[in-house]
Amino acid sequence: MKAPDDAEFTEFAATTIRRLRRTAYLMCGDWHRAEDAAQDALVKVYRRWHRIDRTQGLNGYAHQCLVTAVFDQSRKPWRRERLVDSDEQTHPDPVSAVDDRMLVVQALGALPPSQRACVVLRHYADLSLEQTADILGIGVGGVKSQTSRGLTRLRELLDQTERSAS
Domains and CATH numbers, the chain: 4-75+95-165 (1.20.140.160)
Residues 6+ apart with CB under 8 A from 108: 26, 27, 29, 116, 119, 120, 154
pLDDT at residue 88 above 60? no
Phi-psi group of 29: left, alpha or beta (phi > 0 → left; psi -120 to 50 → alpha; rest → beta): left
Q: Is 126 left (phi over 0), alpha (psi -120 to 50) or beta?
A: left
- Overall average pLDDT of the 152-161 stretch: 89
What is the rounded distance in angstroms from the CA atom of residue 9 to the CA atom of residue 47? 10
Q: Pick the more confident residue, 57 or 65.
A: 65
Q: Which of 18-22, 99-103, 138-142 is predicted least confidently?
A: 99-103
- For the stretch 1-32, what's the b/e string if a residue is b when 16 or more beta carbons lie within 10 angstroms of its beta carbon? eeeeeeeebeebbeebbebbbbbbbbbbbbee
- Report the pLDDT value the prediction gives residue 151, as an integer from 0 to 100: 94
* Residue partners of 15: CB distance under 8 A and separation at least 6: none
Residue 164 has pLDDT above 60, yes or no: yes
Task: For residue range 143-154, list pLDDT tens digits in order.
Answer: 999 999 999 999
The string of pLDDT tens digits covering residues 106-129 is: 899 999 999 999 999 999 888 999
List phi, psi (to 5°) of 2. -75, 155
**Percent of residues, the chain, with pLDDT higher than 70:** 81
- Which residues touch 69 (CB under 8 Å, ≥6 apart)? 24, 36, 37, 38, 40, 41, 44
Which is more confident, 29 or 95?
29
